[in-house]
Structure 1
Amino acid sequence: MSPRRDYRARAARLREREEREQEEPRARERARDRDRLPQRSEIVALLEKRGRHLVGQPFFGQGPRPIVERDRTSNIGDLVLLKVSNRGGKGHAKVTRRLGRPDVARDVLEALMLDRGLRRRFDPAVERAARDPRPLDVPGRRDLRDLTTFTIDPASAKDFDDAISAERLGEQSWRIWVHIADVSAFVRPGDLIDREAFKRGTSVYVPGKVEPMLPEGLSNGACSLRPHEDRLAVTVELELHGAAVRRASFYRSTIRSDERLDYDRVDRVFAGEEPAEEPWAQPLAAARAAAAALQARRDAQGALAIESAEPEFSFNRDGHVTEAVAVAQTEAHRVIEHLMILANEQVAKLLAERKVPALYRVHERPDGSAAQRLVAQLASLGVPTPPLPEQPTAQQGAEAIAAASHLVEAHVRRTGRGAAGLNNLVLRSLKQARYDPRNLGHTGLGLEHYCHFTSPIRRYPDLVCHRALLSAVGGGEDAPEASRLAGAADWTSHRERDAMQVERSADDVARCFLLERRLFETGLTQEFDGEVTGVIGAGAFVAFGDGYAGMLPVRKLRGDWWELNEEGTILHGERSGKAIRIGDAVRVVVDRVDAPRGRVDLFAVEL
């Protein structure tokens, strides 16, 4: 499985990132947890010499420093994983794994994943089961190997869980096939792999690494829709007139991908910089036209307008970060996104109509008060706002927030600033998306029915929806047990939130290592142009330079007393009358970089 990121989860990650003000309480909580060391535990530590003893200094926070038994695999200054036990009330530890050096980004990222509880390895029995998978033999599987099919993924991808076929039927009419890897044919309910997949809940993607939900034998092998190889799939076949679905059918299939396309190549084709090739040229054009119709429907339905970019990091052979490129969503991304959303919507609609137990992806309407607060926040920053009743209902609040997102988008285009901070305000006004056995709709997408179905290689709820769908259409599966779904929804939602926090922390760590490298090469007093992306009582969050981020503490803004306004959007200087507002330009220098913990403190050169 490749260390690629799910661009469809950008908005959720952006929401999590804006909640940085909660990071300090969480850090204190983790520190307290480490202080309460259990009888046996594993910790990530730095080996240090203390008198005659070798001790393990906890690397990601405070905690006891156990005495470490010497071994031949590690040395003083190494980053290690320790197995700790209490002997006579004193902590002793053995090195179970040498992780590397604390000044190497790749080693620290591995340590971070272990510190956050990721397994990093599969049980050998699970690995063996995945190396020689035996798919479920289901009669009636349709043979679609003669149908032109292609995948579109990041250039670095190795696990392909969705593929597309398309044809034009007439003016503004298309037939679309969305083929999804038939993971349920290989992973049976309650078997060894299924239990492990449920424990993990989701794949976790950090720079240069991945914690997969499924072992490589399945994720990169039998379940991956690789080009020019026969693969088992679950197909959603749709006939569209404009954005309206005239007919939908769902079935198991066998496909053979004709081409492995990547986003950059498809964008070059769309821009006329590279010719499309047969046999996929016409199907790609049909998919593009259908996606454009779906985009128009989405705009008309008042879905949120949020654009963001995700960092993609490069490493050298020694494990050091060498580059970070912001990968923005392009038309190629949107084509796949719209077709996947459509397939998810149609699957959820069928499951709801037939009352089959399943896990829905729900995004409930915000409270009316959340919309009122967002409007007040935007108004305090001089951003145009939509009209809002004095006591808005949940529906009116949702409509106002969607309208505000479009006004923010227009404001950002007009002024050229404020994108990150203002979009964060919009996202924070919403409730967090989650999984639920009830079909409660998806406010962010403006849909009454929605589930996750299109990524069963890396999300457990998608596997549940595969089983539910196939049970509903006679595909040889039993419906999920309704009594278990509430617990599964809570668990998979929890695992998703944990994954986003790990990914956020890992991005911060990688950025910090890259920033350290740049400061070393160019000088510690280098000044950067930045923009305020958020404010709290303790200071301002600033994006600066080429994708870096840091904190400008008010305690370092000497000669003034700074107060946060009621809306949480502006810091006012009581003596000077100055203001630090979300979206403001600032000029900063770096005061301190704590790369292993992903933290940067800044000084202001000019406000």
Structure 2
Amino acid sequence: MKQQILDVLKNAVKPVSIVELTSKLKIINHAQQEELLSDVEELKTSDIILENDQKEFYLEKGYNKFLIGVIQVTMKGTGFVKPLNSNDKEYRVSPNNTNHALNNDEVLFSAISNDEAIVNIVLKRNTTSLVGTVVVDQVTKQKTLSVQNSKLQRYRVQILNEDQAIENNIVVAKINNFQENNFTVTIEKILGNLNDPGVDILSVIYEVGIKPQFDPETLMAANAISQTVSEAEKKNRIDLRNEVLVTIDGKDAKDFDDAICVYKLKNGNYRLIVAIADVSHYVQAKSPLDDEAFMRGTSVYLADRVIPMLPTQLSNGICSLNEQVERLCFVCDMEINSKGYTVSSKIYEGLMKSVRRMNYDEVNEAYHDKKPEFVSTHPQVWSMLKDAKELYEILAQYKINNGVIDFDIDEAKVVVSEQGEVTDIKLRTRDISEKLIESFMIRANETVARTISKRNLPFIYRVHESPRKKKLSQMTTILKLMGLQGNYHWDKLHSKDLQILLNSLKDLPNFQVLSTLLLRSMEKARYSNANIGHFGLASTCYTHFTSPIRRYPDLIVHRLLRQYLVDRDINPKVIARNQNFTALASEQSSNMEVKAMECERIVEQMKKAEYMTKFVNQKFTGIISGITGFGVFVELPNTIEGLIKLSDMQDDFYIFNEKAMILFGERKRKQYRLGQTVDILVKNANKASRTIDFVFADMKQESNKDLRIKEHGKKMKFYYSKRSRK
């Protein structure tokens, strides 16, 4: 809210009172009022706004052109910042102009050119602790902290309570002070020795800032909930216990959000029942369970564990649609015709009993005529699944016709032992059953979203803007320089245009690289209470309804459905309150989704590096997945990616053409392009730094000294990308 406060004061002709700020910012509840008072106090403390004797506020002279944002700082100290709650352009901040801001700090900044800015004041340190390994200098015996976060490793760290610092222990340390590139810290928590099983992933959880445990009040509330459905709870619900509802999930799944049932009607249409765990019945608004779910936003799925959004008493217990037990559910019940159109739908509270807990593998086996056991033991389930496959094929064709974009990018599955060691890196498979469930969930999400959107009531939508023309133009340039000529026009862009482009590339050996490049050109999906559609899914109206056990927006969607459709509790006061809360919950959930994805990405990088330590000096074949001013990225078939540094490419002087994404040798004219197949040797893999280094297998490693002699003193030419980040 700080930026909005500044905007009001910038436009004010006289000092503004709290009452006037409340009115201009449209504050309508106690939580917003508290946030306003807190932000005003922080701005006062920073001397950005001043208060007169009448307790009115005005901007300090000279602050009219200042903005507030959260800065992202690279390993080399360069910052990038844009105004809070804004889609305005991003500014670059040189290392000399960051004013000692740390990554994710909230800062007051001002533009000094069209794309450059300077940090004037650090308003809030969002990094309050460090995670690292205690190291001891073998000469001086001084103890210090080797920080895990690569963006903070250039700073020195002094440990105040050295008696708690045991060599090779990974610890969480509170930051007491940060001045002149020096941290002073106090160790608050010892996570364990760096070689203890699971400590590596636990340290990442703390580094990213995700809570690994629930609050005592939350656990107490979860323990108080009965693990069986009472007779009173069954009243006024539609009974689906005789329907052939099944869950289909991975073999290692513990929580089951969704169940499906499909059968063909006499008129040739299909009835699709999507029954979702009724989590909102158990997680009441403003309860300890709800408060913590709001704070967490999502479950986090890591290589050796899940950090659930809700305690396991709910996520694996009473809320989970376990086999052959009665469960409360929220249902999206649809009739779909042979063209894929939803001709009618109902949303209601239900009571169900899952007939069988299915897994993707056995359903895929059945669809591929391998006749798994359930085909004979549960013939009614197999009959239902055959109807489900027919409907899936109809819905898949419907989505293709509408322009859905399927990037078909390989994803890795990290397999770990009970001791936490990586035993394999596999590709995740997406066969018929996985796509079938995804298709049914998408249709349910669309149906729910349209149901509320046409009533024009406050809601949470899953939105995805169309990509920016500038990013697509860069992609077009790369495609043309790779010899892939086409009619690339991005005016009045529709998802169908990108679908056609992707389909034209599918048979190319470098499809994965090109598909990934196109994906990076897209905007990020997020939550919003404004429906602007979902570009990637070719949906004009979309929400998340199907996973309330693991996603907070789905839980709120259920709560709103009950309020609007079941209780009919709709009045101006409710609408105003819901409008405000859906905006707040959308922003919080989007932020926590980003944090969860960051944690998952870091753990995957770390475990891939650990895995590749077994293969140092071994040869592999991969494809060039990225080219930068500092080297070439090569991806192996199992998605592991390593960097070939320019400093290791010593057979020539290499020039980087950023526009064409090509690296070419000045003497030998050798070229390296995106998607090119190359042989590499694993030079090094470092679990601590989460990095993997390759070298080209066929490159003669000449010393820099020899090259300088051969080239008569020429210097190596690097053209660095101005905005490249590491």
Contact 1:539 1:553 in 2 (8 A): yes
Evaluate the alpha carbon distance shift between residue 388 and residue 280 of structure 1 in structure 2; reply closer, same or farther with a 3 A threshold. Answer: same
SS of match in other structure, 1:285: helix
Q: Which residue of structure 2 aligns with residue 349 of structure 1?
A: 450
Question: In the TM superposition, what whole-angstrom CA distance separates every residue of 1:231-287 from its partner, at most 9, and x where no partner exists?
Answer: 111010011112111110000111111111111111111111124223311111111
Contact 1:363 1:444 in 2 (8 A): yes
Match of 2:608 among 493, 508, 511: 511
Q: Which residue of structure 2 aligns with residue 606 of structure 1?
A: 698
Q: Which residue of structure 2 aligns with residue 192 of structure 1?
A: 288
Contact 2:410 2:512 in 1 (8 A): no
Match of 2:493 among 386, 395, 399: 395
Match of 2:667 among 541, 557, 575: 575
Question: In the TM superposition, what whole-angstrom CA distance separates every residue of 1:273-328 from its partner, at most 9, and x where no partner exists?
Answer: 12422331111111111111000111111211311232222222322111121112
SS of match in other structure, 1:328: coil
Match of 2:370 among 259, 263, 273: 273
CA RMSD of aligned residues (A): 2.9
Q: What does 1:303-322 correspond to in 2, within 5 Å? A: 303-322=404-423
The question of 1:380 aligning with 2:481 is answered yes
Match of 1:25 among 74, 78, 82: 74
Contact 1:563 1:571 in 2 (8 A): yes
Contact 1:345 1:449 in 2 (8 A): yes
Report 1 or 2 for greater relative contact order, CA contacts < 8 Å, sequence distance ≥ 6: 1
Q: Which residue of structure 2 aligns with residue 224 of structure 1?
A: 320
Task: Return the index of the structure with the highest Cα Rg.
Answer: 2
The question of 1:93 aligning with 2:93 is answered no
Q: Could you tell which deviates more after superposition, 452-461 or 270-279?
A: 270-279
Q: Could you tell which deviates more after superposition, 83-92 or 353-362?
A: 83-92
Inter-partner Cα distance in structure 2 for 1:405 and 1:108: 38
The question of 1:439 aligning with 2:439 is answered no
Inter-partner Cα distance in structure 2 for 1:328 and 1:23: 35
| TM superposition shift of 1:83 | 4.2
Contact 1:69 1:92 in 2 (8 A): no
Match of 2:550 among 445, 452, 458: 458
Contact 2:409 2:516 in 1 (8 A): no
Evaluate the alpha carbon distance shift between residue 325 and residue 27 of structure 1 in structure 2; reply closer, same or farther with a 3 A threshold. Answer: farther
Contact 1:40 1:85 in 2 (8 A): no
The question of 1:161 aligning with 2:161 is answered no
1:353 is aligned with what amino acid? K
Contact 2:441 2:546 in 1 (8 A): yes
Match of 1:237 among 333, 344, 353: 333
1:511 is aligned with what amino acid? K
Give the TM-score normalised by the residue count of structure 2: 0.73
| TM superposition shift of 1:359 | 1.1
Evaluate the alpha carbon distance shift between residue 24 and residue 87 of structure 1 in structure 2; reply closer, same or farther with a 3 A threshold. Answer: closer
Q: Could you tell which deviates more after superposition, 220-229 or 592-601?
A: 592-601
2:432 is aligned with what amino acid? E
Give the TM-score normalised by the residue count of structure 1: 0.87
| TM superposition shift of 1:470 | 2.2
SS of match in other structure, 2:635: strand
Inter-partner Cα distance in structure 1 for 2:266 and 2:424: 46
Q: Which residue of structure 1 aligns with residue 394 of structure 2?
A: 293
| TM superposition shift of 1:399 | 3.5
The question of 1:45 aligning with 2:118 is answered no
SS of match in other structure, 2:329: strand
| TM superposition shift of 1:29 | 7.2
Q: Which residue of structure 2 aligns with residue 469 of structure 1?
A: 561
Contact 1:307 1:329 in 2 (8 A): no
Evaluate the alpha carbon distance shift between residue 252 and residue 582 of structure 1 in structure 2; reply closer, same or farther with a 3 A threshold. Answer: same
Q: Which residue of structure 2 aligns with residue 424 of structure 1?
A: 516
Contact 2:652 2:668 in 1 (8 A): yes
Structure 1: gaps spanning 5 or more residues: 1-21
Q: Which residue of structure 2 aligns with residue 483 of structure 1?
A: 580
Evaluate the alpha carbon distance shift between residue 558 and residue 56 of structure 1 in structure 2; reply closer, same or farther with a 3 A threshold. Answer: closer
Evaluate the alpha carbon distance shift between residue 492 and residue 248 of structure 1 in structure 2; reply closer, same or farther with a 3 A threshold. Answer: same
The question of 1:81 aligning with 2:150 is answered no
Q: Could you tell which deviates more after superposition, 233-242 or 459-468?
A: 459-468
Q: Could you tell which deviates more after superposition, 103-112 or 115-124?
A: 103-112
Q: Could you tell which deviates more after superposition, 481-490 or 35-44?
A: 35-44
Inter-partner Cα distance in structure 1 for 2:76 and 2:301: 22
| TM superposition shift of 1:561 | 3.2
Inter-partner Cα distance in structure 2 for 1:568 and 1:181: 50
Q: Could you tell which deviates more after superposition, 34-43 or 594-603?
A: 34-43
Question: In the TM superposition, what whole-angstrom CA distance separates every residue of 1:392-414 from its partner, at most 9, and x where no partner exists?
Answer: 42335x442222111122x33xx
Question: In the TM superposition, what whole-angstrom CA distance separates every residue of 1:179-213 from its partner, at most 9, and x where no partner exists?
Answer: 11111111112221111111111111121122221
| TM superposition shift of 1:23 | 10
| TM superposition shift of 1:539 | 1.6
| TM superposition shift of 1:428 | 2.0
Evaluate the alpha carbon distance shift between residue 52 and residue 580 of structure 1 in structure 2; reply closer, same or farther with a 3 A threshold. Answer: closer
Q: How many residues align?
A: 569
Evaluate the alpha carbon distance shift between residue 360 and residue 545 of structure 1 in structure 2; reply closer, same or farther with a 3 A threshold. Answer: closer
Q: Which residue of structure 2 aligns with residue 365 of structure 1?
A: 466
The question of 1:561 aligning with 2:653 is answered yes
SS of match in other structure, 2:456: coil
| TM superposition shift of 1:506 | 1.1
2:146 is aligned with what amino acid? Q
Inter-partner Cα distance in structure 1 for 2:332 and 2:278: 12
Inter-partner Cα distance in structure 1 for 2:331 and 2:560: 14
Inter-partner Cα distance in structure 2 for 1:379 and 1:90: 49
The question of 1:584 aligning with 2:680 is answered no
Q: Could you tell which deviates more after superposition, 31-40 or 112-121?
A: 31-40
Q: Which residue of structure 2 aligns with residue 530 of structure 1?
A: 622
Inter-partner Cα distance in structure 2 for 1:483 and 1:492: 14
Q: Could you tell which deviates more after superposition, 36-45 or 494-503?
A: 36-45
Inter-partner Cα distance in structure 2 for 1:563 and 1:394: 36
| TM superposition shift of 1:347 | 0.5
Contact 2:244 2:384 in 1 (8 A): yes
| TM superposition shift of 1:97 | 3.0
SS of match in other structure, 1:99: strand
Evaluate the alpha carbon distance shift between residue 23 and residue 377 of structure 1 in structure 2; reply closer, same or farther with a 3 A threshold. Answer: farther
Evaluate the alpha carbon distance shift between residue 475 and residue 100 of structure 1 in structure 2; reply closer, same or farther with a 3 A threshold. Answer: farther
SS of match in other structure, 2:198: helix
Q: Which residue of structure 2 aligns with residue 13 of structure 1?
A: none
Evaluate the alpha carbon distance shift between residue 178 and residue 384 of structure 1 in structure 2; reply closer, same or farther with a 3 A threshold. Answer: farther
The question of 1:211 aligning with 2:307 is answered yes
SS of match in other structure, 2:145: strand
1:349 is aligned with what amino acid? R
Question: In the TM superposition, what whole-angstrom CA distance separates every residue of 1:141-171 from its partner, at most 9, and x where no partner exists?
Answer: 1121121111011100001111111111147
Evaluate the alpha carbon distance shift between residue 284 and residue 477 of structure 1 in structure 2; reply closer, same or farther with a 3 A threshold. Answer: farther
| TM superposition shift of 1:545 | 6.0
| TM superposition shift of 1:475 | 4.9
The question of 1:56 aligning with 2:148 is answered no
| TM superposition shift of 1:131 | 1.9
Q: Could you tell which deviates more after superposition, 558-567 or 498-507?
A: 558-567
Inter-partner Cα distance in structure 1 for 2:260 and 2:409: 25
Inter-partner Cα distance in structure 1 for 2:102 and 2:583: 28
| TM superposition shift of 1:477 | 7.0
Question: In the TM superposition, what whole-angstrom CA distance separates every residue of 1:473-527 from its partner, at most 9, and x where no partner exists?
Answer: 22577766102322322222222122222211111111111111x22xxxx3211
The question of 1:65 aligning with 2:158 is answered yes
Inter-partner Cα distance in structure 1 for 2:101 and 2:640: 30
Contact 2:654 2:664 in 1 (8 A): yes
Q: What does 1:80-159 correspond to in 2, within 5 Å? A: 80-83=171-174, 85=176, 91=184, 93-101=186-194, 103=195, 106-133=198-225, 137=233, 139-159=235-255
